[in-house]
Amino acid sequence: MTGDGQGSDMDGKRAKLSVHLDERDGIPVARASGEIDVATAQGLRSELATVPSGTRRLVVDLSDVTFLDSTGLGVLIATLKRLQDAEDESSVALVVTRPQIVRVLEVTGLTGVFSVHASIEDALAP
């Protein structure tokens, strides 16, 4: 499944936020690419909404995300809350490699809410 949000790249060229939802080892993995901001976050929201409630583990790969603001964080938090409302033990693991994305997670204290990993393999590890 793929969802797109509208965005723009630094050179002014239209660039979409792409979100692809796959499954690895029975765990849903959403791979996002582009900028997640107030204009594009709906694309992420729509795609993550297709992850069934009751899912115990979800991985969101943000390694190709170049910008993440409070709107995008709100989508991730809402997704975690929805999953945990149905299943207390549910967790959302984030794959983050870019320093600017790590920074926004750190300054908001969300590194204590999501598990943050440097690779999909780490995020999928039992």
Binding site for other proteins (CB under 8 A): 6-8, 10, 12, 35, 37-39, 67, 69-71, 73-74, 77, 80-81, 99-100, 103-104, 107-109, 113
Closest approach, Cβ 84 to other proteins, in A, equals 8
Which helix (H) or strand (E) segment holds residue 92: the answer is strand 91-95
Give the nearer residue to other proteins in terms of CB position, either 24 or 81. Answer: 81
Give the nearer residue to other proteins in terms of CB position, either 26 or 109. Answer: 109
Closest approach, Cβ 69 to other proteins, in A, equals 5
Which sign does the torsion angle of CA 43, 44, 47, 50 carry?
Answer: negative
Give the nearer residue to other proteins in terms of CB position, either 111 or 120. Answer: 111
114 touches 78 (CB < 8 A): no
Q: Which two tokens stand for residue 60?
A: 């969101």
